[in-house]
Amino acid sequence: MKNYYFTITPLYFLSISFSLSSSSWMSIWIGMEMNLLTFIFLILNSKTFNSNESCMKYFLIQSVGSLMFLFCISMQMLFYNESFFINALVPPLALMLKSGIAPLHFWTPDLSMKFSPSNLFLFITMQKIVPLLILFSSWSTMIKWAIPLNIMIGALGGMCQSSINKTIIFSSMNNSGWMLLSLTESFLLFFLFFFTYFLMNFMLMKFIKNHKIKWITQIKSHNFFKKIMFMSLMLSLSGLPPFLGFIPKWIILKKIIFMLPMFAFLSILFSVFIIFFYLKLSIFMFFYSSLTKKWINWFSYSSVNISLNILINFTSSFFFILCM
């Protein structure tokens, strides 16, 4: 297959911009379909062993969500005010299915195993922007029960996984709950959270891609500094201070603790579950791995890259604190 990457990528980001800037439901649907087709081309372009299978499964599931969404906007155009129940329930469910958030997340863990790191990165970041923003802007009351559900399932589901991809998927589900929670306060807070989430996942996926890691147990065979880098990124995603991921979650909690105290309590509770799991994983990697010492080239590219990523995690946290 020819390399369509440099042709498709601009169209991919254009489809997201088109959906977000559209003023009619039909235009939004067209933008999401453009996004679906371009993302499928990117999956096929990855040339992984399971790319065809993952492409077909992703296409079928997204087609179901698109048909549900199209059916509802057609009913709204034909029978305005006569199909309130359908328009209030089915479109948000269709958007939840397309974004892979709870309670319609059943297809994401298995499909994630067939994604390359680059495709998984796009799936857990850029593919969520349009459905989540549309979901909140038009069905804000509907998502109030989806917020604790995503935070809870994302936390508990990731605790029993040995696959890196599945762990990241459940972490993404938990962070999707935080994204929806940030939207209840302001769009600025949402974009702050999304930017830090995007940055952390970019560094994590780069690490996974460079070292071809698929299972958590594979980390044991790497040297001390690579383990430090991996765990700093995972702990940052979990929201452990003083890592970068803690700052936006702390700001969200400060904003909602008096307005939505129950949501704040559940968010803190299930964040503790995630942090406990990752800390337990850290102990496993550092204290139960091989005791064979390996010489490290302190000035190699990989060592500098690892140090830079760890430095970004810490210094960005302090930068946000100083700016507040």
pTM higher than 0.85: no
Average predicted confidence (pLDDT) for the chain: 80
State yes or no: pLDDT of 240 exceeds 50: yes
Phi, psi of 163 (to 5 degrees): -90, 135
Domain assignment present for 118: no
What pLDDT shows up at residue 4? 63
Q: Which pLDDT band, with edges at 50, 70 and 90, does 219 fall under? A: confident
* 41 located within any domain: no
- With residue 110 as reference, give the H or E element that holds it: helix 108-112
- Nearest CA among 116, 123, 156, 138 for reference residue 69: 138
Residue 2 has pLDDT above 80, yes or no: no
Tell which residue, 125, 115, 97, 267, has the closest CA to residue 182.
267
pLDDT attached to residue 48: 64
Average pLDDT, stretch 254-275? 87
**One-character DSSP codes across 160-223:** G--BHHHHHHHHHHHHHHHHHHHHTT-HHHHHHHHHHHHHHHHHHHHHHHHHT--BGGGGGGS-
Residue 299 has pLDDT above 50, yes or no: no
pLDDT at 257: 87
Q: What is the pLDDT of residues 71-80, one digit of tens each?
A: 888 877 776 6
Is residue 18 assigned to a domain? no
Is 141 part of a structural domain of the chain? no
Backbone angles phi, psi at 297, to 5 degrees: -80, 105
Q: Could you give the CA distance from residue 83 to residue 139 in angstroms, rounded to a whole number?
A: 15
CB 233 within 8 A of CB 205: no
Give residue 249's domain range. Answer: 146-323
Please state, for a pLDDT cut of 70, what percent of the chain lies above it.
82
Determine the Cα–Cα distance for residues 236 and 232; give it in Å rounded to an integer: 6
Q: Is residue 116 part of a domain?
A: no
Answer yes or no: is 293 within a domain. Answer: yes
- The verdict on residue 85 lying in a domain is no
Task: Classify residue 62: in a domain, yes or no.
Answer: no
Residue 87, pLDDT above cutoff 80: no
| Domain count within the chain | 1
Separation of alpha carbons 67 and 76, rounded Å: 14
